[in-house]
Amino acid sequence: MIYQSAEEWLGSEEKRVLLFGMSGLGKTHVSKLLRDSGNWFHYSIDYRIGTRYMGEHIADNFKREAMKVPLLRELLMTDSVHITSNIRFDNLAPLSTYLGKPGNPAKGGLPFAEYMLRQDQHRVAEIASLLDTAHFAERAKSLYGYPHFVCDSGGSICEVVEPENPDDPVLTSLSRVALMVWIEGTEAHTADLIRRFDKAPKPMYYQPEFLHAAWEEYLSENRLSEAEVDPDAFVRWTYARALAHRQPRYRAMAENWGVTVSAHDIADVNSVEGFIALVARALEARR
């Protein structure tokens, strides 16, 4: 870890952190709070994925749909219109829409093979975006003059690393750049995330082994063919299993590569000073 003690963290003139954990527990909230202070550079992994590494896939998907409309097809073929996504830190809908959900095409589902292709594209993009963290941390300092840096990672970071492997290339790179901070939720937080997801299910990235097993189990349990699957029903069914699958991986990341703070404490953070003090306590607890 780049900070071995609370004293070293508090005394550092260049504070760098990477926040990880389940989506919805405060990573982006804290990142925005730090960014708005004016002294912290905010690097969003999901934003980087959607703009740098999957932007062309996303735009091509929009164009593919537009080509089905005669008027838009004519305009596209004559380069008369420009179609692109408008991804922002607080609106990643174009990326989620592209990832999609498997199942009945009449309900907006994708063939499972196409769904898995897009999942793999996301995996490659996420690893590349995580490895770009070092570049952006240095860029934030040398180009823009920011003394501090926060990396807001996606919830699926634990799916593309091997937390128990001391030579994992992604975690090795990240741990040399920033202090990895796990925002740990409770069972109550998990139940609330599931309720929120149930109201508005959205696409996510999963490990292929986990996803293949979940897909086969869902088809068998419900006696459905691929084309009969309700896409929203499948991702709802999968979500709770995904959270249970991810929790021990997050924990291993924190134990082997960083520190842990509670989601309750993160929710109470309303200032940069409060966040710095919280991380200091986490470093002290680790010692």
User: In a structure prediction context, what are the per-residue pLDDT tens digits for the chain, which is 287 residues long?
Assistant: 999 999 999 999 999 999 999 988 899 999 999 999 999 999 999 999 999 999 999 988 888 888 898 888 888 888 888 888 888 877 888 898 999 999 999 999 999 999 999 999 999 999 999 999 999 999 999 999 999 999 999 999 999 999 999 999 999 999 999 999 999 998 888 889 999 888 888 888 999 999 999 999 999 999 999 999 999 999 999 999 999 999 999 999 999 999 999 999 999 999 999 999 999 999 999 87
One-letter amino acid of 281 = R
Distances in whole angstroms, Cα of residue 127 to Cα of each of 3, 121, 161, 171? 24, 10, 8, 10
Residues 46 and 155: beta-carbon distance below 8 Å: no
How many CA atoms, within 13 angstroms, populate the side-chain half-sphere of residue 255? 10
Task: Give the chain's length.
Answer: 287
Residue 32, pLDDT score: 95
Q: Report residue 165 as tokens.
A: 């492997």
Residues 117 and 123: beta-carbon distance below 8 Å: no
Residues 26 and 267: beta-carbon distance below 8 Å: yes
Residues 53 and 125: beta-carbon distance below 8 Å: yes
Strands 16-20 and 179-184: parallel
Residue 277, pLDDT score: 98
pTM of structure: 0.92
